[in-house]
């Protein structure tokens, strides 16, 4: 039934476009956006929002396929072997493209040689927070507290080897203090522990914590160059210019995809992301819509490798 609908849709699209003249970079449909995580998660929702708009821009049926498993590595490896003609795209993030190559000795893909960047679709900030009952009011007070209470200086992150984990280490390293890391099984358990006072410091993406600020927890700082919320200053404003970093979701394709095809996809994606209703929904998820060119995406990947790899290596973290 579903495939029938798809075919009717495809046929209708082809019929409509038949008169549009020969396109230099025709992409054979239907186009797949592979999300290497289960349906319903953050990157899945964004992929579905974009897929809806790409349909019209590319004149093809665009479907989202979930290939979850092994923290996204199964889906990533799957797309590596798919046709490089623009018909299969993949949603990736720093965990897959920056952290995994450092912490896995045998990784089935190489982010730099197996894939070509298309566009960064959204960015999200990290933040550091404390329970609302805590007396700590800003980052300086937090650092002082850590120095005075080395036995209680624990920080929680949503997962071991996640970017918030390494962001916590970045804070400790920059401030010259030591914190013990405890990973939780996701953002929900972390915020529960934080509200209940089971752990004194939490580090996570801003959108995972913003709903509880300021009634249940206090967000001390966000990690972007500009404020995310008018009442929460950035680390930079609080005198820590080195503490900066954002996470992102980006679209990539298999490496051998022709340049003109990538350009066409990138333009369509950037346009989709900037459509007012899509942009509004992405903001509603707590992140910022971006929509870059392939070159800008490559620059983001490179900059983040330079930023995070030394911290990850220094932590000695290994997944195997």
Q: Would you tell me which residues interact with other proteins (CB under 8 A)? A: 38-42, 45, 48, 65-71, 73-74, 77, 103, 106, 108, 151, 154, 159-161, 180, 182-186, 188-189, 191-193, 195-199, 210-212, 215-216, 281, 284-285, 317-320
| Closer by beta carbon to other proteins, 207 or else 304 | 207
Closest distance to other proteins from the beta carbon of 153 (Å)? 10
Taking a C-beta distance cutoff of 8 angstroms, is the pair 121, 289 a contact? yes
Per-residue b or e along 191-218, where b marks 16 or more CB atoms closer than 10 Å to that residue's CB: bebbbeeebbbbbbbbbbbbebbeebbb
Nearer CB in complex with other proteins: 76/292: 76
Measured from the CB of residue 204, what is the shortest distance to other proteins in angstroms? 13
Min separation Cβ 18 and other proteins, Å: 29
Residue 42 or 245 having the CB closest to other proteins: 42
Please give the span between the terminal C-alpha atoms of the chain, in angstroms, as a whole number: 44
Q: Which of 65, 288 has the CB closer to other proteins?
A: 65
Whole-angstrom CA distances from 203 to 220, 223, 297 are 10, 11, 26
Please tell me the distance from the alpha carbon of residue 278 to that of residue 312, in angstroms, as a whole number.
Answer: 34
Torsion of CA 45, 290, 84, 94, to 10 degrees: -80
Nearest distance in Å: CB 61, other proteins: 14
User: Is residue 307 within a helix (H) or strand (E), and if so which, with residue range?
Assistant: helix 294-315
* Residue 271: both structure tokens together: 């346009």
- Closer residue to other proteins in complex, CB, 306/320: 320
Minimum separation from the CB atom of position 155 to other proteins (A): 11
Whichever of 71 and 168 has its CB closer to other proteins, that residue is 71
| Dist. CA 58–CA 265, nearest whole Å | 8
Query: Helices in 59-205 by DSSP H: which ranges?
Result: 73-80, 94, 100-103, 139-148, 163-175, 187-195
> Minimum CB separation from other proteins for residue 258, in Å?
28
């Amino acid at each position: 039934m579903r495939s029938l609908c798809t075919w009717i849709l495809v046929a209708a699209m082809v019929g409509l476009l038949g008169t549009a003249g020969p396109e230099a970079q025709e992409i054979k449909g239907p186009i797949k956006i592979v999300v290497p995580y289960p349906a319903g998660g953050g990157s899945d929702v964004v992929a579905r929002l974009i897929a809806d708009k790409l349909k019209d821009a590319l004149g093809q049926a665009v479907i989202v396929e979930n290939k979850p498993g092994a923290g996204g590595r199964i889906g990533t490896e799957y797309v590596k072997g798919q046709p490089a003609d623009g018909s299969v795209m993949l949603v990736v993030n720093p965990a897959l493209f920056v952290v995994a190559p450092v912490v896995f000795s045998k990784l089935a893909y190489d982010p730099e040689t197996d894939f070509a960047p298309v566009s960064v679709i959204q960015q999200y900030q990290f933040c550091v927070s404390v329970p609302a009952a805590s007396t700590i009011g800003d980052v300086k007070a937090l650092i002082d507290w850590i120095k005075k209470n080395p036995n209680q200086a624990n920080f929680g992150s949503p997962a071991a080897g996640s970017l918030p984990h390494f962001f916590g280490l970045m804070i400790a390293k920059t401030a010259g203090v030591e914190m013990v890391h405890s990973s939780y099984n996701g953002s929900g358990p972390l915020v529960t522990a934080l509200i209940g006072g089971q752990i004194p410091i939490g580090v996570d993406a801003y959108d995972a914590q913003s709903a509880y600020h300021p009634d249940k927890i206090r967000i001390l700082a966000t990690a972007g160059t500009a404020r995310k919320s008018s009442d929460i200053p950035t680390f930079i404003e609080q005198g820590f210019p080195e503490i900066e970093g954002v996470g992102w979701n980006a679209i990539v394709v298999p490496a051998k995809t022709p340049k003109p095809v990538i350009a066409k996809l990138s333009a369509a994606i950037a346009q989709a992301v900037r459509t007012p209703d899509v942009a509004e929904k992405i903001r509603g998820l707590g992140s910022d819509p971006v929509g870059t060119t392939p070159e800008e995406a490559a620059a983001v990947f490179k900059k983040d490798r330079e930023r995070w790899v030394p911290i990850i290596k220094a932590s000695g973290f290994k997944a195997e």
